[in-house]
């Protein structure tokens, strides 16, 4: 996980498990002992699991406490359903109870492991949790994503004042919507952040960003999502989200400013931006300025140099990710149908098919509402009909 600086843990990652422990794990895990004074009698370690990593079935003669600190994971006792785990959850494991714990399929996961009754506590390691057992345990739960609950449920005030609204929205977001379209956690995190920016919702953005970082979105990816939105929503709106993103990242222990990512200069930004446009949209886009009235051709140059040259030549996000973000931004803003159709073509050109775009709209629906979703679907039907 050394290159996954996005994982917002507050305790050290530690080193890969030594062989005497690693042989009882599927996947890579890391161990960071936090206490050293044996006289205190409370050994505490920080354990971090890569996605899908889990330990074998096992038990402790003296019991154990797990205190979840970051990411998403699962705990299961033998003969009982798996329990989803989020930061702040506490698992009390009684002596002799056979169990396993580990990360979600698409998220890193960390917990504190507190050894109870250390003088007499002995681990008994049993068989591995094979792929079939793991899939059966976690597959019955809602598909994993950057939020384990709706953004409404994450609002403590709403949960107190409007519990009925929260219950309806939470069931809709976490149960019904994921069935309509599958997106990997990274893409879902990015398009939901884009929708919050387009909808000018700083509070919702803040909650979605906390969840996105927990599921593994890198700080540099977060910054690129916000920067990518600048030419679409405008600087006056985007700067507020740059500020909020900085506050959340620092709260997650990320040192700012992040490294620069610009790859263009004042001399080549126009040429490189236009070359990128042509690569995605074809040669016609390079001649766009020739069809415009003479007094507004400069807009075409600004679009090439700024929207594409300044922002989209940055290396953190690839072309499919950026086109998907543009699609999400335009659909969420509404009133941008002409541009949306153009970027549906752009998405198709870089490999984002109709099914992927429909999945994005399904996940955007709770945030942007039905009119904008249906208008975006109409554009999709026109550009990429179902039979194509």
Task: Tell me if residue 163 falls in helix, strand or coil.
Answer: helix
| Structural class in CATH, domain 156-261+314-383 | mainly alpha
pLDDT mean by block of 10 residues, the chain; 388 residues: 48 89 93 88 91 93 91 89 87 93 89 88 90 80 45 76 86 76 81 96 92 82 96 96 95 90 95 93 76 85 94 92 97 96 95 92 94 97 85
pLDDT at 386: 87
Rg (alpha carbons) of the chain, rounded to whole number: 24
Say what the pLDDT of residue 6 is: 40
Q: Which value, to the nearest 10 degrees, does the dihedral of the CA atoms of residues 249, 253, 254, 257 take?
A: 90
> Given this model, what pLDDT does residue 143 score?
41
What is the value of pTM for the model shown?
Answer: 0.64
- Tell me the CATH number for domain 15-139: 2.60.120.10
Quote the Cα angle for 187-376-188, to 5°: 10
Determine the Cα–Cα distance for residues 310 and 305; give it in Å rounded to an integer.
6
pLDDT at residue number 140: 45
Q: Which pLDDT score, from 0 to 100, does residue 206 have?
A: 93
State the pLDDT at residue 148: 45
**DSSP codes of every residue in 87-133:** TT-EEEE-TT--EEEEE-TTS-EEEEEEESSTTT--EEE-----HHH
Q: Enumerate the domain spans of the chain.
A: 15-139, 156-261+314-383
pLDDT of residue 198: 97
**What is the per-residue pLDDT for 1?**
38
């Amino acid at each position: 996980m050394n290159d996954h600086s996005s994982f917002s843990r507050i305790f050290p990652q530690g080193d890969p498990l030594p062989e005497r422990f690693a042989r009882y794990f599927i996947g890579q895990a890391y161990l960071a002992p936090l206490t050293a004074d044996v006289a205190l009698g409370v050994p505490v370690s920080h354990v971090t699991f890569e996605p899908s990593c889990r330990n074998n079935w096992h038990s402790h003669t003296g019991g154990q406490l797990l205190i979840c600190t970051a990411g998403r994971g699962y705990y299961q006792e033998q003969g009982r359903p798996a329990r989803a785990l989020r930061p702040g959850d506490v698992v009390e494991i009684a002596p002799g109870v056979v169990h396993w714990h580990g990360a979600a399929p698409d998220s890193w996961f960390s917990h504190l492991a507190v050894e109870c009754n250390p003088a007499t506590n002995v681990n008994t390691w049993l068989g591995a949790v094979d792929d079939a057992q793991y899939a059966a345990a976690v597959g019955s739960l809602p598909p994993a994503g950057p939020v384990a609950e709706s953004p409404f449920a994450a609002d403590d005030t709403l949960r107190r004042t409007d519990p009925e609204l929260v219950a309806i929205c939470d069931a809709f977001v976490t149960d019904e919507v994921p069935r309509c379209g599958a997106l990997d956690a990274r893409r879902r995190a990015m398009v939901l952040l884009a929708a919050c920016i387009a909808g000018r919702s700083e509070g919702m953005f803040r909650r979605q960003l906390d969840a996105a970082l927990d599921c593994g979105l890198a700080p540099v990816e977060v910054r690129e999502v916000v920067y990518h939105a600048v030419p679409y929503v405008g600087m006056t709106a985007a700067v507020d989200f740059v500020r909020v993103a900085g506050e959340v990242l620092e709260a997650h222990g990320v040192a700012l400013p992040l490294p620069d990512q610009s790859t263009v200069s004042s001399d080549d930004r126009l040429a490189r931006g236009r070359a990128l446009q042509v690569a995605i949209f074809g040669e016609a886009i390079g001649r766009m300025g020739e069809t415009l009235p003479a007094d507004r051709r400069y807009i075409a140059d600004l679009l090439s140099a700024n929207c594409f040259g300044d922002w989209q030549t940055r290396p953190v996000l690839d072309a499919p990710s950026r086109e998907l973000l543009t699609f999400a931004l335009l659909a969420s803003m509404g009133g941008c149908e002409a541009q949306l159709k153009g970027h549906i073509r752009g998405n198709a050109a870089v490999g984002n098919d109709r099914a992927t775009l429909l999945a994005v709209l399904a996940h955007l629906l709770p945030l942007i509402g039905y009119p904008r979703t249906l208008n975006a679907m109409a554009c999709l039907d026109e550009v990429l009909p179902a039979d194509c």
